[in-house]
Amino acid sequence: MHIRLAMIVGVMFLKIELKINGKFRTAEVSASERLIDVLRQKFGLVSVKEGCGAGECGACTVIMDGEAVCSCVVPAFQADGHDILTVEGLEENGELDVIQQSFIDCDAVQCGFCTPGMIMSAKALLMKNPCPSREEIRTALAGNICRCTGYVQIIDAVETTAARIGVCRR
Amino acid sequence: MDKRSYKYIGRNVTRFDAVDKVRGRFPYLADEPFPNALFGAVLFSPHANAVVKKIDVSEASRIEGVEILTYLDAPNARYNGSEWFPGQDDYPDETVLTGHARHVGDRIALVMADTEEKARKARDLVRVEYEILPAVTLPETAADMAGMLHEDGVKSFDGSICYGDLEKAFSSAAYIESDTVTTPKIHHAAMETHSVLAIPRGDVLEVRTPCQITFGVQYSIAQVLDMPLSKIRVIKANMGGTFGGKQEVVFEVLCAWAANRLKRPVFINTTREETILSTRTRAAVKGKVETALDADGTILGRSFELIVDAGAYLTGTKKVMMAMGKKASRLYRIPALSYKGSVVRTSTTPAGACRGYGSPQIHTITEIHTDLMCRRLGFDPVQFRLKNLLGEFEEDPSGGANIGKARVIECLSRGAAAFGWEENKAPKVSGGRFFTATGFACCTHGNGYYKTKYHDFSNMSLRLLEDGSAILRASIHELGSGATTALAQIVGEVTGIDVSKITVTEADTQFTSYDSGCQASRVIYVCGECARLVSEAAVKMLTQEASKLLDRPVRFYEGGLVCEGKKLDLGAAVREIMEKRRVSIEVNFEHRPESNPASFGVHFAEVTVDKLTGLVKVNRYLAIHDIGQAINESFVRGQIYGGIQMGIGMALSEELPFDSMGIPRVRNFDKYHLVNAPDMPDPEIILIEDNEPGGPFGAKSIGEISTVPVSAAIVNAVNRALGSSLTDLPLTPAKVVEAARNMGE
Ligand code: FES
Ligand code: FES
């Protein structure tokens, strides 16, 4: 950790450096700020949603160093030196990631509020396990609540993504 | 028309907003801060029943730029946030802010600042001294304590429905059976918490809200602000789920009043805890049902006595209670019925609309009762129901609309065969502790308001544009179900215009015409039919104008314009008509339905109960629905899966309990157990599509009914597994273990 401290009008700020969606960024954060606040407010990454603020719904899920984390329970300063991926970072040259396309094709989106977090949890799973079983998908999404879809089409979308990536031989 | 030749109806067209949503670029209110808006943090009461003795804002107001409005500043006008049209007689007992807190989470003051952080910090510096009064937590004693909670002293809000000769039914009965079933207070749990933005613009007050009835929001605000409806512009904002939780007006009136008073935009956003404690819930119900049968198991009469918990304010709970009664005569043939409901207020979070509007409660009560009654009397639960279910086009003896093309008997018989009911009906035991059994439940729900006390109409206009595209100006509220896309499919089917070239608007009271709102399962049956009819009218106008233009007969055939055997380009025709005939192709149409048939569904569940831990696992599930016609089959499936998720929660794990002081035991999802992916089965779905008259291409409702039979199906399966008579929902592990312990005793 190479955190620099700074005092601005009596509040302690920490200067952090981190990689967000492939780009190096810096931010000054207070000790009480959460990663979700920094992503939404400082970097405008509003795909990161707040559903509970308590690590219980997964709406705020981002990928940190390859792991899905709830950004509402990660203090911002802890992201210093880490690599963060949000839904905004999935597109390449304006083309959707195969997981995004699969969510569309499988109709895995209703109100859409859980969708970015759901996609990031599923993405983290597929990065580690490109051929998950339906049960493994369910387990990986256990921390992401969706009130609209009953998960079925979301699980279909993750299976479809795996099939489209094409490493699976089943 | 042959269904197979449909171009769009029944097809899985991708929803319009899917791309933006997977890109994380579909902005909800909280994602797009409005310039110069004040963030409003509501000061909520920490007590269940308490009168404010002193409120001290001095410290909070020392923070620069903070604006504070307390109950002392607020208008006294009382309103009922469930009313969506003038003259509805819902008792008004709510104010924008109050000095008498009637539940934990009641609104005392609104503290505003330029940032959320500052507003919340200032809010926490407001000092309030309360005189704490006894909490009213039990519905059974609420009537006697009414005066302690509300100065009006109204004990209860009662209603009844009666028809037939009940006395004769019961006196001539071979059997009289009764059960009492309790259903829990539930949090809607839309993933987006409640928020609203109000912007004063000249003499017009603009309000953007993720709501279900813009015209209802407009009316509620007008009651408190004393402004003409025409000066209140309500715009439906992007919505992250509702399930009825955003149907009634909650923070809109407060936000509009504050913005109007300060002449600045005000944005109110809430945390999950604030949404759980301070918005709406599904009303908890305790219902006693008694059924009179003849010796063969034909229903002769049924009586109900219900007590319904409205929470701290009446809200729409009396409407919900009456809606429950209205459903009681629309599933089985019941020659005589008495329904008595009593709504009481308690010092807990208010109830209100919630997916199904009382249907899940009433059908949970009757379907659990029906299974227990069959078991006690030795009737087969499938045969018993087949004998008593309604057939097509039967009348509703309570005076409701004709039942329509009912296919519930087919749902049950096909479902029983598909699920292997006969083979699986005997419970199985494994490992000495795992009990597996099957249960099912039937249900009905409506399609709008026709023949109820509320009016029902939809007014839309369709304009065909000069490039052959189309705009449907409709007061739709997209709730996430895909309604706007489904309506475009209807327009596309009639006009032949590619759906990708059709835009369907959402409600904006300044620009879109009147509609009764996205409630009452009326969107497909009523608004969808309006979209079909306005499309037909536009096509008619187009062919007439084209005929005049060309001075030859132009017909509309197979999705396109044809003149003497030659196909005409639709866009070119519109252009030329505009240019040469100086007429634009736009029609306005108002649809006032004259039918309100029932939708039906039967759900089957196979569960395994672990006697030791009390955990219930849903292994297999089948949902079979009589929906007339799917407009978009994938959307229909999505509604059903989501409905099942909610219903399993109501059966097994979801509830909002309060202690004897009225303090909530649940404040966030750590203690509120929603069904997650590992606990959700992969349901099988069968749709019966037999064309309901009066609906667009024969379609009828699915969104609400899909959650109605779930809880009873699960509870019935658990009761078969354990031989138990559990009727107090949710069936938490503790209750299941207790029931398992009593097995065989
Ligand atoms: S908002 Fe972070 S887990 Fe719910
Ligand atoms: S799509 Fe609405 S919460 Fe998942």
The answer, yes or no, to whether residue B312 has pLDDT greater than 80, is yes
CA dist B704 and B707 (Å) reads: 6
Nearest by CB to residue A104, choosing from B18, B481, B637, is: B18
The answer to whether ipTM exceeds 0.90 is yes
User: What pLDDT is recorded for position B390?
Assistant: 98
CA dist B469 and B467 (Å) reads: 6
Last residue of a domain, one of B269, B290, B309: B269
Nearest by CB to residue B272, choosing from A52, A101, A153, is: A52
DSSP symbol at A9: T
The answer, yes or no, to whether residue A53 has pLDDT greater than 90, is yes
Average pLDDT over residues B212-233: 97
**Pick from B114, B18, B20, B8: which is nearest to B66 by CA?**
B114
Domain at B718, CATH number:
3.30.365.10
Residue pointed to by tokens 């009906």: B425
Q: With CB atoms and an 8 Å threshold, state whether A151 touches B641.
A: yes
Chain A positions in Cβ-Cβ contact with residue B676 (cut-off 8 Å)? 141-145, 151
Any domain includes B157: no
How much distance in Å is there from the Cα of B644 to the middle of ligand 2? 14
Instruction: Choose the CATH number for A98-164 among 3.30.200.20, 1.10.150.120, 3.40.50.1460, 3.30.2090.10.
Output: 1.10.150.120
**Pick from B368, B374, B515: which is nearest to B442 by CA?**
B368
Nearest by CB to residue A56, choosing from B638, B668, B678, is: B668
Is B478 in the same domain as B358?
no
- Which atom of ligand 2 lies nearest, measured to the CA of A110? 1
- Which atom of ligand 1 lies nearest, measured to the CA of A55? 3
Last residue of a domain, one of B542, B565, B591: B591
| pLDDT, tens digit (0-9, with 9 covering 90-100), for A122-167 | 999 999 999 999 999 999 999 999 999 999 999 999 999 999 998 8
How much distance in Å is there from the Cα of A41 to the middle of ligand 1? 16
At residue B661, what is the residue type? M
The alpha carbons of chain A give a radius of gyration, in whole angstroms, of: 17
How much distance in Å is there from the Cα of B192 to the middle of ligand 2? 9
Is B609 in the same domain as B623?
yes
Interface mutation target, options B11, B16, B20, B23, chain A, most CBs of A under 10 Å = B23
CA dist B715 and B438 (Å) reads: 10
Q: With CB atoms and an 8 Å threshold, state whether B191 touches A147.
A: yes
- Residue A44 gets the label, from left (phi > 0), alpha (psi -120 to 50) or beta, of left
Is B635 in the same domain as B737?
yes
Is B293 in the same domain as B427?
yes
**Pick from B632, B600, B277: which is nearest to B490 by CA?**
B632
Domain at B234, CATH number:
3.90.1170.50
Strand B266-269 and strand B38-44: the pairing is: parallel
Would you list the domain boundaries of chain A? 4-89, 98-164
Superfamily name with CATH number, domain A4-89: Beta-grasp domain (3.10.20.30)
Per the CB < 8 A criterion, the answer to whether B241 and B194 are in contact is: no
- Top mutation candidate among A49, A113, A120 for ligand 2, by most atoms within 8 Å of CB: A113
Is B433 in the same domain as B306?
yes
- Top mutation candidate among B26, B191, B275, B355 for ligand 2, by most atoms within 8 Å of CB: B191
- CA–CA min distance A124, chain B (Å): 16
Number of structural domains (chain B) is 3
Per the CB < 8 A criterion, the answer to whether A18 and A84 are in contact is: yes
Strand B175-183 and strand B554-557: the pairing is: unpaired
Chain B positions in Cβ-Cβ contact with residue A62 (cut-off 8 Å)? none
What residues line ligand 2, using a CB cutoff of 6 Å? A 109-115, 146-149; B 191, 241, 480
**Beta-sheet strands, E only, within B532-598:** 554-557, 560-563, 566-568, 586-591
Q: What is the residue-averaged pLDDT of chain B? A: 97
Q: Which two tokens stand for residue B356?
A: 């199904």
Which residues are B197's β-sheet partners? B208, B267
| pLDDT, tens digit (0-9, with 9 covering 90-100), for B317-339 | 999 999 999 999 999 999 999 99
How much distance in Å is there from the Cα of A110 to the middle of ligand 2? 5
Is B404 in the same domain as B528?
no
Is B708 in the same domain as B694?
yes
Average pLDDT over residues B474-480: 98
User: What pLDDT is recorded for position B695?
Assistant: 98
| % chain B with pLDDT above 70 | 99
H/E stretch holding B223 reads: helix B214-225
Average pLDDT over residues B345-357: 98
- Give one DSSP letter per residue of B399-417, joined into a string: S-----S--HHHHHHHHHH
- Which atom of ligand 2 lies nearest, measured to the CA of B240? 2
- Top mutation candidate among A52, A86, A121, A141 for ligand 1, by most atoms within 8 Å of CB: A52
| pLDDT, tens digit (0-9, with 9 covering 90-100), for B415-469 | 999 999 999 989 999 999 999 999 999 999 999 999 999 999 999 999 999 999 9
Residue B523 domain boundaries = 3-25+457-591
Is B403 in the same domain as B426?
yes
- Under the banding of pLDDT at 50, 70 and 90, the label for residue B352 is very high
Nearest by CB to residue A152, choosing from B17, B641, B678, is: B641
Any domain includes B226: yes
Any domain includes B160: no
At residue A85, what is the residue type? L
CA dist B717 and B285 (Å) reads: 21
Is B105 in the same domain as B218?
yes
Is B385 in the same domain as B470?
no
The pTM of the full predicted model, rounded to 2 decimals, is: 0.98
Phi and psi angles of residue B529, each rounded to the nearest 5 degrees, phi first: -70, -35
Closest ligand relative to B238 C-alpha: 2
Chain A positions in Cβ-Cβ contact with residue B24 (cut-off 8 Å)? 45-48, 86-88, 115-116
What residues line ligand 1, using a CB cutoff of 6 Å? A 50-53, 55-60, 70, 72
Chain A positions in Cβ-Cβ contact with residue B186 (cut-off 8 Å)? none
Any domain includes B158: no
User: What pLDDT is recorded for position A170?
Assistant: 53
User: What pLDDT is recorded for position A1?
Assistant: 43
- CA–CA min distance A65, chain B (Å): 20
Any domain includes B154: no
Average pLDDT over residues B379-401: 98
Any domain includes B170: no
The answer, yes or no, to whether residue A12 has pLDDT greater than 90, is no
Last residue of a domain, one of B239, B269, B299: B269
Q: With CB atoms and an 8 Å threshold, state whether A151 touches B645.
A: yes
| pLDDT, tens digit (0-9, with 9 covering 90-100), for B354-365 | 999 999 999 999
Contacts of B197 (CB under 8 A, 6+ apart): B29, B34, B37, B207, B208, B209, B237, B255, B265, B266, B267, B268
Q: With CB atoms and an 8 Å threshold, state whether A143 touches B676.
A: yes
Measured CA distances, B514 to B306, B507, B510, B589, B701 (Å): 35, 9, 10, 11, 21
Is B440 in the same domain as B390?
yes
Per the CB < 8 A criterion, the answer to whether A58 and A143 are in contact is: yes
Closest ligand relative to A118 C-alpha: 2
Per the CB < 8 A criterion, the answer to whether B105 and B67 are in contact is: no
How many beta-carbon pairs below 8 A join chains A and B?
173
**Pick from A28, A26, A30, A27: which is nearest to A11 by CA?**
A30
The answer, yes or no, to whether residue B316 has pLDDT greater than 90, is yes
| pLDDT, tens digit (0-9, with 9 covering 90-100), for B693-725 | 999 999 999 999 999 999 999 999 999 999 999
Nearest CA to ligand 1 atom 3: A55
How much distance in Å is there from the Cα of B536 to the middle of ligand 1? 47
Nearest CA in chain A to B274: A52
Is B587 in the same domain as B475?
yes
Nearest CA in chain A to B647: A150
The answer, yes or no, to whether residue B98 has pLDDT greater than 80, is yes
Nearest CA to ligand 2 atom 3: A146
Nearest CA in chain A to B193: A51
Please return the burial class of B547, using the count of CB atoms within 10 Å of its CB with bins 0-12, 13-18 and 19+. middle
